[in-house]
Chains A and B, each alone.
Chain A
Amino acid sequence: MQGLQIENLEKNYNDVRVVHGLNLTVAEGEMVALLGPSGCGKSTTLRMVAGFVEPSGGRILLNGTDISGMPAYKRDTGMVFQSYALFPHMTVAANVAFGLEMRRVPKSERPARVAAALDMVRMSKLADRMPRQLSGGQQQRVALARALAVNPALLLLDEPLSNLDAKLRGEVQHEIRTLQQRLGLTTLIVTHDQEEALVMADRLVIMEGGRIRQAGTPRELYEEPSDIFVAGFVGRCNLIEGESQGGGWFRTANGALLPCIDTAPALKPAMLAVRPEHINIDNENAKGIPARVAGAAYLGSQIEYRVDISGTTLTVMRNNATTGEQVLPVNTAITLNWPTTAARVLPRQ
């Protein structure tokens, strides 16, 4: 079987378990993002795949071969590190050629392969520079070229963009994604930045506390989160305490009755999850949930409201589609409504 399979992978550090029975596949040519807060075990997982950390249990298969016991230098992976980890005493070209030499690519073929790899990341002109003469973004590109030059069966990226400034990060995200799709690279990326994961990956795997919370496409995770951690971690979400009554109604802890997806079973205690941009604001007399504006912020493309439903505060994002749209003053009486499918009932943890 092609691609990467991780089966029941575990890691203990001095009796502390930091990765719990992890199962994960990356299909051939697919890009999967491991997304989670700092310290949840993402890097440890990636480093076990690369062979820098020895697993305490489980198996790792790459294109059908169990590589769990293989030393790092025999694994066919290409890794890009957060700190880039370029060889400081070698030129850009020598950095890229190193992997080719190690994998015994004939000397005559190396210059062309180095040039091709540098070309891919638009760094050909700087081939003779030393790493210290490059900017962060340029070093990042060289690190990527170095990993790609050897045609690895699996590309591993550990927070590859977190040392770049925000604007550059956005560009490089798209560039890496385009390159990955063009070359059909099987890729596992680790990040704590949800936007990065959403932009780059085919599938996301949300980790927390060394466990997988949920895996799926960006749309699945955003629209159908299976628990409140995922709902709150991917995008913004209003989480309202209360209990589901069944039949499409949810009673908040403050006693207000809110509409929710009618397939939700009766569940108490529970949480109602509603995305801020799924909530409509209507005038006082419309049909819906009576509410009051508690605060507003003009954000340019959007207006962010804090609204109050009998003691429960929600965030509402409204698109600023037409110019001159008025920001509702504080204390305006309003009516809220949302499609019932936009309000999901999740177990409280």
Chain B
Amino acid sequence: MTGFPAFTRVGYNLLIVMAYGLIMAPVLAVMVISVFDAEIISFPPHGLTLRWFVNAWQRPEFADGLWVSFKLAVISTAVGVPLGAMAAYALNRGKFWGKGLISSLLLGPLAVPAIICGTALYIFYIQAENVLDRDIVGTTAGLVAAHVLLTIPWSVRLVSASMEGLDQRIEEAAANLGASPMIVAWRITIPMMRSGIVAACMFSFIQSFENLELSLLLIAPGQITLPVAMLNYLEFRIDPTLAAVGTIQILFIGILMLVTDRFVKLSRVF
């Protein structure tokens, strides 16, 4: 920024600080409130405490919800990322009619508000139940399928991004050395897409892990996910226990991102 008057530079830095402040404020607020020692949130706090964390830990719905959400996110990621990666491969390498249409369809769930997706899926599942004469709403399969829908657009996008910079000559070189198409895909293409695939796994996991809108309508009675458990809790009480749960969720995702970043530089994927 050489050559700019000092006040421009100050203004520029101020803008950055404000933008970050705006983005981080809700996250920080949740973390701060989680240690306030008062049922009703007031400022300044009477004192600091960890009792909301103890409370969150002792209430079974949160511990169970965390476990259910974790399992659901792992399964949805394990199903969604391979599907998304294969779709991305086909879209980048294949020559077929209707590519643009398929691409928009796969990315569609990103553009539609999740609550609308959830409602539409719910209605669709009910109709399908009538036709197929079997349960779908409230089954694990139905819930996983819905969450896979969330993970696919992220997988397609991130894996596509990592394929675009990929020199196709490298795959030709492998073929030239005697590698059949299957071996080229397994030994060359997939390893080169690694950063995209790892990033896709992480974002898919997060999408599923924190999803409220789809789960709300589709979960089975005994299988309450963490976000739904939090919403349920809110119907009866409002105290910083939720902030404590939220803090745990934020830290969990934050650690996940840091660990991922050690394997692939996330900044390189975007």
Interface residues of chain A, those whose CB is within 8 Å of chain B, are 50-52, 71-75, 77-79, 81, 83, 85-89, 98-99, 102-103, 143, 146-147, 150
The one of A72, A87, A88, A89 that contacts B176, using a Cβ cutoff of 8 Å: A72
Q: How long is the Cα–Cα vector from A87 to B177 in the complex, in angstroms?
A: 12
> Which residue of chain A has the shortest Cβ distance to B170 in the bound complex?
A85
Q: Given A87-B188, A89-B191, are A79 and B174 also a contact pair (CB < 8 Å)?
A: no
Residue contact A77 to B176, C-beta cutoff 8 Å: yes
Residue contact B192 to A88, C-beta cutoff 8 Å: yes
Q: With an 8 A cutoff between CB atoms, is B25 at the interface?
A: no
Taking CB atoms, residues of chain B closer than 8 Å to A143 are 173
Q: How long is the Cα–Cα vector from A103 to B175 in the complex, in angstroms?
A: 11
Q: How long is the Cα–Cα vector from A99 to B175 in the complex, in angstroms?
A: 9
> Which residue of chain A has the shortest Cβ distance to B168 in the bound complex?
A85
What number of residue pairs across chains A and B have CB atoms under 8 A from each other?
68
Closest 10 CB pairs of A and B: A102-B178, A99-B177, A85-B169, A85-B173, A72-B175, A79-B176, A85-B170, A73-B175, A89-B191, A81-B169
Taking CB atoms, residues of chain B closer than 8 Å to A102 are 174, 177-179, 183
Taking CB atoms, residues of chain B closer than 8 Å to A79 are 172-173, 176
What per-residue 1/0 map shows which CB atoms of B182-226 lie under 8 Å from chain A? 011001100110100000000000000000000000000000000
Q: How long is the Cα–Cα vector from A166 to B192 in the complex, in angstroms?
A: 32
Q: How long is the Cα–Cα vector from A75 to B181 in the complex, in angstroms?
A: 14
The one of B167, B176, B178 that contacts A50, using a Cβ cutoff of 8 Å: B176
In angstroms, how far is the closest chain B Cβ from the Cβ of A40? Answer: 20
The B4-27 residues at the A interface (CB cut-off 8 A) are none
> Which residue of chain A has the shortest Cβ distance to B184 in the bound complex?
A73
> Which residue of chain B has the shortest Cβ distance to A90 in the bound complex?
B191
Q: Given A87-B188, A89-B191, A102-B183, are A146 and B172 also a contact pair (CB < 8 Å)?
A: no
Taking CB atoms, residues of chain B closer than 8 Å to A52 are 172, 175
Taking CB atoms, residues of chain A closer than 8 Å to B187 are 98
Taking CB atoms, residues of chain A closer than 8 Å to B174 are 87, 98, 102
Q: How long is the Cα–Cα vector from A146 to B174 in the complex, in angstroms?
A: 10
Taking CB atoms, residues of chain A closer than 8 Å to B176 are 50, 72-73, 75, 77-79, 147
> Which residue of chain B has the shortest Cβ distance to A82 in the bound complex?
B169
Can you report 12 A-B residue pairs in the complex whose CB atoms are below 8 A from each other?
A: A50-B176, A71-B175, A73-B176, A78-B177, A79-B173, A81-B173, A85-B173, A86-B170, A87-B192, A88-B192, A99-B178, A102-B183
Taking CB atoms, residues of chain B closer than 8 Å to A51 are 175
The one of A71, A88, A89, A98 that contacts B177, using a Cβ cutoff of 8 Å: A98
Q: Given A83-B167, A83-B169, are A89 and B175 also a contact pair (CB < 8 Å)?
A: no
Taking CB atoms, residues of chain A closer than 8 Å to B175 are 51-52, 71-73
Central interface residue in B176, B178, B191, B194, by most chain A CB within 10 Å: B176
Q: How long is the Cα–Cα vector from A6 to B120 in the complex, in angstroms?
A: 61
Q: How long is the Cα–Cα vector from A78 to B175 in the complex, in angstroms?
A: 10
Q: How long is the Cα–Cα vector from A28 to B187 in the complex, in angstroms?
A: 33
Q: How long is the Cα–Cα vector from A73 to B178 in the complex, in angstroms?
A: 4
